[in-house]
Copies of this chain bind each other. A is one copy, B any other.
């Protein structure tokens, strides 16, 4: 059983804890149940009723907490990616800090590509919610934005960062791999794209 601490949505010291204690308990139980069921049976086999039953709560509660199946999957995903994000923020170089920015960018692209493929099922189940409002995506764009600035890229750098990460979205990777293009080639293509963005002109 996964007993890793559930990521709290920043209970800032003085604030009037926006969630009631039973709600917090249920959120954690649901997330844990969902993680287990995904691990046991695969994403596609997990139903909302299953999750509710395993967590010992009613189905309505699942939807109040996570809004939809996609929303629940986003939450599960965010937990799964916490470790990866930690590696980027404070792990060893070249993925973590310490290496020159270009090397970090290379490592980041490679690592992101692998992570995306690993979590493919979860990302597909998260759907638009996954690429849209997930903290995970904000983090990715934020980090690339930062590296591009360090590399001296000028212009609308935030948009360039977004555009650079777009080809690594799961839908596109699925499409390319279905056409027989392997991961190595995709990575080379991405590095080429990154080089062209950084070179500027």
Contact = CB atoms under 8 A, between A and B. Distances in A.
Quick one: copies of this chain in the complex? 2
Nearest to A195: B201
Interface residues of A, number: 36
B201 A199 contact: yes
A7 interface: no
Interface in A164-201: 166-167, 169, 171-172, 174-176, 178, 181, 185-186, 188-190, 192-193, 195-197, 199-201
A99 interface: no
Given A171-B131, A201-B199, A163 B190 contact: yes
Interface of A: 124, 127-128, 131-133, 137, 155-156, 159-160, 162-163, 166-167, 169, 171-172, 174-176, 178, 181, 185-186, 188-190, 192-193, 195-197, 199-201
A106 to B, nearest CB: 16
14 contacts: A127-B127, A128-B171, A131-B172, A132-B174, A132-B178, A133-B175, A159-B176, A160-B189, A162-B172, A162-B176, A163-B166, A166-B167, A166-B169, A196-B196
A196 B175 CA distance: 25
Contact of A196 (B166, B181, B186, B197): B197
A159 B183 CA distance: 12
Contacts of A196: 196-197, 199-201
Contacts of A201: 195-196, 199, 201
Given A163-B189, A188-B156, A196-B199, A175 B132 contact: yes
A92 to B, nearest CB: 29
